[in-house]
Amino acid sequence: MTSGVSARLLEGKIEGRVLTWDDDEYDDARAVWNAMVDRRPRMIVRCATPDDVATAIRYARDGDLEIGVRCGGHGVLGAAVPEDGLMIDLTPMGGVRVDPRRRRAWVEGGALLGALDQATQPHGLATTAGNVSHTGVGGLTLGGGMGWLARQFGLSCDNVASFEVVTAEGNMVRASAAENAELYWGLRGGGGNFGVVTEFEFQLHPMVGEALVVDLWFALDEAPAVLRGWRDLNAVAPRAATFTAWVGDMEGRPMASVGYVWIGDVEEGRRLLPPLRALGKPVMERVHETSYVELQRMDDSVEGHTFRRYWKGHYVRSLPDEAIEAFLLRGTPDGHGPYLPAASLQAYGGAIADVPDEDTAFSHRDTLFEFVSATRWSDPTEDELRIGAARRYAGSLDRFASGAYVNVLTDEGQAGVRRAYPPEKLARLTALKDTWDPQNVFHLNHNIPPTGRPG
């Protein structure tokens, strides 16, 4: 039976659509955020309902097809797109329903962060929702979910009251503190290892005020002293502030910046400016007031879907002077060179650290900063050079690392998974995998294999 005939039979069993190689929409549907990913699924099932998801899982298992699950398509490995497999495309399931009285939002599994922000903001409510509005709610939340509100309200996963999940057997279950509590624990940080989440119930928080974005840029030779002062200011920063730093090339020369994003009373947020400006004489600065929704869109054009991409990341519990120097040198002797990636530091702490580490699968709540080295380019002949530079840069900070964020892992395989979860949590996650997916149906992810199966 040809894939086209088979697809039409499957399409007759679901409310959504099934795309194959000869459909006009096929190429758009298989394209993801990283342009290096160019795989061709045998079928793309554009699911309209949870029942469609269940039917697609059963169909794929009956046909021995690998399953990939797409929401926003932001995973740098593009694991959502299985070569000659079946891609479950959740993007048609993008609705958000808000109950402002109960401060709850029910978010379908294919929704993007922008849809969540736009639905909640008219009610003066919000929850932690990443930094880029076209990221998928599902992938972000299942891995943890850092965002500009996390120091005030916790990670995205900390704000999920319940999950609706389609299991590897094609059954629909609910997970919450009161129902399937161990699965609820694992879904908050364990990634897409245990099923396909078709609905998230989020706790919302009153959010009064606007956003203030502050960045001060410095020449590279002045940056070490500035970064040391910025680090010390972060130690006493209010929870409304998320301190940020960056190093990269501007107009052909290496530069560094320090700053913060403030959400709340903007005038109160401006009180952090004088001590920051006192750290040195910036080459230029940006002090920008904006709405929360616009803040969430601020990096959308930068994070467009047309570039080849690679990144590496670390968590760090401290930032000694030697780590600052390594951050600024970018894996080189002097901070100069071709094809060097940019990198950022983003502060954790606050409400993230309030949650006991054992309460969720997400780990490393004692993180001080997250480091991410990211590179993007267009010319395929640069692939090896760009990836090699990013690896060298991240490697230069290995000795300062305390772990990794599962949503920033790339091609580290099981070594990366072991960095994301300490041994006792990994054992618990493996037991959970044994219960909910013993055949490792959902393995196109940062995989936690069941007992006896290779990752």
**Domains in the chain: ranges and CATH:** 3-89 (3.30.43.10), 96-207 (3.30.465.10), 210-408 (3.40.462.20)
> Which residues are CB-neighbours of 350 under 8 A, at least 6 positions away?
150, 151, 152, 239
Q: Given a cut of 50, is residue 1 above it in pLDDT? A: no
Distance CA 89, CA 69 (A): 6
The separation between the first and the last C-alpha atoms of the chain, rounded to the nearest angstrom, is 32
**Site of tokens 């020449």:** 219
Total-model pTM: 0.95
User: How far, CA to CA in Å, does 101 sit from each of 129, 157, 174?
Assistant: 20, 21, 23
Q: Which pLDDT belongs to residue 4? A: 61
> Which residues are CB-neighbours of 3 under 8 A, at least 6 positions away?
20, 21, 42, 43
Q: Given a cut of 80, is residue 6 above it in pLDDT? A: no
Q: Give the pLDDT mean for 147-162.
A: 98
Residue closest to 142 by CA, chosen among 177, 183, 114, 180? 183
Q: Give the pLDDT mean for 226-246.
A: 98
> What is residue 340's DSSP assignment?
P
Structure-token pair, residue 92: 């048609």
Tens digit of each residue's pLDDT (9 = 90 or more) over 50-70 = 999 999 999 999 999 999 999
Q: Which pLDDT belongs to residue 139? A: 96
Q: Give the pLDDT mean for 181-192.
A: 98
Distance CA 271, CA 426 (A): 43
- Helix or strand run (H / E) with residue 78: none
Distance CA 258, CA 328 (A): 12
Question: Which range is least confidently modeled, 303-307, 308-312, 315-319?
Answer: 303-307
Q: Give the pLDDT mean for 405-414.
A: 96
> Which residues are CB-neighbours of 209 under 8 A, at least 6 positions away?
263, 264, 265, 266
Residue closest to 386 by CA, chosen among 395, 375, 378, 399? 375
Q: Which pLDDT belongs to residue 401? A: 98
* Comparison of pLDDT for 299 and 218, the residue scoring more: 218
Q: Give the pLDDT mean for 231-242.
A: 98
Task: Count other C-beta atoms under 10 Å from residue 142's C-beta.
Answer: 32
Main-chain phi, psi angles of 258, to 5 degrees: -130, 155
Q: What letter represents residue 249's amino acid?
A: D
Distance CA 223, CA 92 (A): 46
318 falls in which pLDDT band (50, 70, 90)? very high
Q: Which pLDDT belongs to residue 134? A: 87
Count of H-run helices and E-run strands, the chain: 16, 18
* Helix axes 321-329 and 223-234, enclosed angle (nearest 10): 130
> Which residues are CB-neighbours of 28 under 8 A, at least 6 positions away?
none
Q: Given a cut of 70, is residue 303 above it in pLDDT? A: no
Structure-token pair, residue 34: 């990283």
Tens digit of each residue's pLDDT (9 = 90 or more) over 105-145 = 999 999 999 999 999 999 999 999 988 888 999 999 999 99
Q: Which pLDDT belongs to residue 455? A: 61
Distance CA 286, CA 305 (A): 26
404 falls in which pLDDT band (50, 70, 90)? very high
Torsion sign, CA atoms 341, 345, 351, 356: positive
Percent of the chain with pLDDT over 70: 97
DSSP string, 11-46: HTTSSSEEE-TTSTTHHHHH--SSTT-----SEEEE
